[in-house]
């Protein structure tokens, strides 16, 4: 007797009905009918063939879930080792999550919530359950922070680590194994043992929200994807020329005036994050073991702040009005110290990024202010660079006084800062001497060179909006293969190089659609570059695993770039197509702030940076990196 009614091919068993509808072989087993003429004719004419074929398909049907699952353990970033074993763990509503320490309750509840979203099942959390089927265990062992072991057996899942962070990353890997599973009453997870640890402790991503503002919900979505890819540092660029995006209660005009406008509309309504917003986002990130690092840019890129409080401006030159803070005004230092203290109270990271980049673009304005020239003469400074370094050291002392570390772009490596309190971000791939200088001074370093880790660079030669460097762009492959062989292994392993970070500047990114297009899937490539040891990396394997993530992007409404099918998602362009070529600008730009002084005036000639932003009435002209 057939389980399926031959006449209408209907059944009350959903799994069989679905299989018969989608698989002609399974349909034949249960109905003895098929739409494949060769099989139907052979079975009609030869009962033995029919019997053998039915048995074969039954075996295939029974064991196919195991074969399918075992071949598709798809995790990004790739773990150190995955050993497949026999069997399947069946996740169902009777599964209980347990732990050997109540400190793991937040991680257990995170897993509970994510499993409900992923599978539709509510899984109980019980710290006292001795027979828990998913067991989280803190153990004493010597290992890198973030290391974990995930062991999946037919009757139990055990995640062990020496710290909560490692337990969390084990949960993330477990959840990744479920990412393509259908929602249902039972989910089969292939048995295996995963041993894993991160290559770098700094796995960062930076978002610029001064040029264009995206808001709290978008930031949370990005934090979720950072979690999915085991990235752990969110660098938040909140102040620059086009807008001030962080509420400072002592100076409300920073947001009421400085928050007005963006890169493409100088009169757009003020947008910024309240202190309540920031606390919410910081807590959200902390639950996911992501540290949020604020950047308050100084002494350059200060235009938005100077619009609000012009008394602290260092003056203007043609293309860079009010670009710097005034180093000769003592109240400038108090103003910025107050800002840093409020900022520090919102971010428990123990570090603040002070910028320190591209001061040369507007520093010649200092030479036109008598008070600044008097200060230089009094302190016997021989160049504007000396004054810049003086300014930066004073503000660094403020940060150190709050027991925080100073983070800065690579120009600030020239300043004498305490090595044990300083982290330098090397971004100028064309100036390797700055990296070597930072290492020689014993600063810790984060690698974030424009090539290949600036996500505002285009990612395919056909793209027409974004940055290129002498024709070079930042493909998914180039991100994946960083750090390159040019970096000596001893430097990468010395401990001075903390890790890597990708940055996205948003001059040409005005919408969530384009933001997604520029970030995904390069964020996935970044994660494997930052987490997986170079000896374990396999780009072909990565590409296969990446394809399965596209299903998740689609489900989440992410408009991503598909490097395997360029026609799938055409380039998202917010403004008039424009290729920015920073190499040309920098070729013509001379560091006028190194000009030697002659009495009260500088002798050197400061060549203006080449303008590379759209010319439009009422739009501020700026650049970055």
Task: Indicate which residues carry an active-site annotation.
Answer: 240, 301, 358
Contacts of range 541-547, beta carbons closer than 8 Å, 24 or more positions apart: 541/78, 542/76, 542/78, 542/480, 544/74, 545/74, 545/75, 545/76, 545/78, 546/76, 546/476, 546/521
The length of the chain in residues reads 625
- Give the separation between CA 356 and CA 408, rounded to whole angstroms: 6
Strand partners, 89: 189
Please count the other Cβ atoms lying within 10 Å of the Cβ belonging to residue 585.
16
Radius of gyration of the chain (CA): 29
**Cβ atoms 431, 445 nearer than 8 A:** no
Q: Where are the alpha helices (DSSP H) in 204-248?
A: 216-228
Pairing of strands 148-153, 156-161: antiparallel
In three-state form (DSSP H/G/I as H, E/B as E, the rest C), the secondary structure along 48-109 is: HHHHHHHHHHHHHHHHHHHHHHHCCCCCCCCCCEEEEEEEEEEECCCCEEEECCHHHHHHHH
Picking from 314, 320, 347, the residue whose alpha carbon sits closest to that of residue 247 is 347
Beta-bridge partner residues of 244: 239
Residues 6 or more apart whose Cβ sits within 8 Å of residue 284: 220, 223
- Rounded to whole angstroms, the Cα distance separating 390 from 372 reads 12
Q: Which two structure tokens, joined as six digits, stand for 381?
A: 């400074």
Q: Are the beta carbons of 6 and 31 closer than 8 angstroms?
A: yes
Helix, strand, coil in percent for the chain, rounding step 5: 40, 20, 40
Q: How crowded is the C-beta side of 473, counted as CA atoms within 13 Å? A: 18
* Buried-state track 421-457, b at ≥16 Cβ within 10 A, e below 16: bbbbbbbbbeeeebbebbbebebbbbbbbbbbbbbbb
Cα–Cα distance, 463 to 562 (Å, whole number) = 13
DSSP per position, 308-370: H-GGGB---BTTBTT-SB-TT-HHHHHHHHHHHHHHHHH-TTSEEEEE---GGGTGGGGGG-H
Bridge partners (DSSP) of residue 84 are 192
State the sign of the Cα–Cα–Cα–Cα dihedral 429, 430, 434, 440: positive
Angle at which helix 37-45 crosses helix 24-31, to 10 degrees, equals 30
Buried b (16+ CB within 10 A) or exposed e, 551-567: eebeeeebbbbbbeeee
DSSP string, 121-159: ---EE-TT-TT-SEEEEE------TT-EEEEEETTEEEE
DSSP assignments along 423-464, one per residue = EEEE--TT-HHHHHHHHHTT-EEEE--HHHHBTTB-SSTT--
């Amino acid at each position: 007797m057939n389980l399926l009614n031959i006449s209408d091919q209907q059944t009350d068993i959903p799994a069989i009905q679905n299989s018969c509808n989608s698989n002609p072989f399974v349909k034949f087993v249960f109905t003895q009918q098929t739409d494949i003429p060769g099989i139907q004719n052979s079975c009609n004419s030869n009962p033995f063939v029919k019997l053998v074929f039915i048995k074969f398909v039954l075996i295939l049907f029974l064991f196919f879930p195991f074969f399918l699952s075992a071949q598709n353990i798809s995790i990004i970033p790739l773990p150190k080792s995955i050993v497949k074993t026999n069997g399947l763990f069946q996740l169902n509503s009777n599964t209980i999550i347990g732990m050997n320490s109540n400190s793991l309750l937040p991680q257990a509840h995170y897993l509970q919530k994510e499993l409900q979203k992923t599978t539709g099942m509510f899984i109980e959390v019980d710290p006292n359950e001795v027979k828990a089927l998913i067991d989280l265990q803190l153990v004493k062992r010597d290992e890198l922070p973030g290391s974990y072991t995930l062991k999946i057996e037919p009757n139990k899942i055990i995640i062990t680590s020496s710290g909560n962070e490692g337990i969390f990353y084990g949960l993330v890997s477990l959840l990744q194994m479920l990412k393509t599973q259908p929602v249902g009453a039972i989910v089969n997870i292939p048995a295996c043992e995963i041993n894993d640890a991160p290559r770098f402790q700094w796995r960062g991503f930076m978002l610029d929200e001064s040029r264009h503002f995206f808001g709290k919900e978008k930031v949370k979505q990005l934090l979720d994807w950072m979690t999915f890819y085991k990235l752990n540092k969110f660098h938040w660029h909140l102040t620059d020329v086009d807008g001030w995006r962080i509420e400072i209660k002592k100076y409300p005009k920073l947001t009421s005036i400085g928050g007005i406008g963006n890169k493409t509309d100088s009169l757009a309504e003020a947008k910024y994050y309240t202190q309540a917003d920031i606390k919410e986002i910081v807590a959200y990130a902390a639950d996911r073991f992501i540290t949020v690092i604020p950047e308050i840019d100084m002494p350059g890129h200060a235009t938005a702040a100077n619009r609000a409080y012009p008394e602290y401006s260092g003056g203007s030159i043609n293309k860079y009005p009010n670009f710097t803070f005034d180093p000769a005004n003592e109240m400038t230092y108090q103003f910025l110290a107050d800002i840093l203290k409020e900022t520090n109270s919102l971010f428990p990271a123990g570090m603040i990024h002070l910028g320190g980049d591209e001061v040369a673009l507007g520093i010649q304005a200092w030479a036109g202010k008598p008070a600044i020239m008097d200060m230089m003469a009094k302190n016997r400074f021989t160049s504007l660079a000396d004054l810049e370094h003086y300014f930066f050291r004073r503000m660094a002392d403020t940060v150190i006084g709050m027991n925080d570390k100073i983070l800065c772009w690579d120009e600030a490596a020239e300043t004498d800062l305490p090595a044990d309190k300083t982290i330098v971000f090397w971004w100028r791939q064309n100036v390797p001497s700055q990296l070597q200088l930072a290492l020689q001074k014993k600063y810790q370093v984060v690698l974030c060179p424009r090539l290949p880790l600036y996500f505002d660079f285009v990612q395919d030669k056909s793209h027409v909006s974004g940055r290129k460097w002498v024709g070079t762009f930042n493909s998914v492959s180039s991100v994946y293969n960083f750090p390159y062989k040019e970096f000596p292994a001893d430097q990468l392993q010395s401990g001075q190089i903390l890790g890597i970070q990708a940055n996205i500047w948003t001059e040409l990114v005005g919408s969530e659609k384009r933001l997604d297009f520029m970030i995904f899937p390069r964020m996935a490539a970044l994660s494997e570059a930052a987490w997986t040891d170079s000896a374990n990396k396999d780009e072909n394997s990565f590409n296969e695993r990446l394809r399965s993530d596209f299903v998740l992007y689609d489900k989440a409404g992410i408009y991503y770039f598909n490097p395997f099918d360029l026609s799938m998602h055409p380039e998202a362009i917010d403004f008039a197509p424009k290729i920015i070529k920073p190499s040309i600008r920098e070729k013509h730009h001379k560091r006028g702030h190194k000009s030697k002084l002659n009495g009260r005036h500088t002798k050197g000639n400061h060549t203006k940076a080449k303008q590379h932003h759209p010319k439009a009435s009422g739009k501020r002209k700026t650049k970055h990196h």
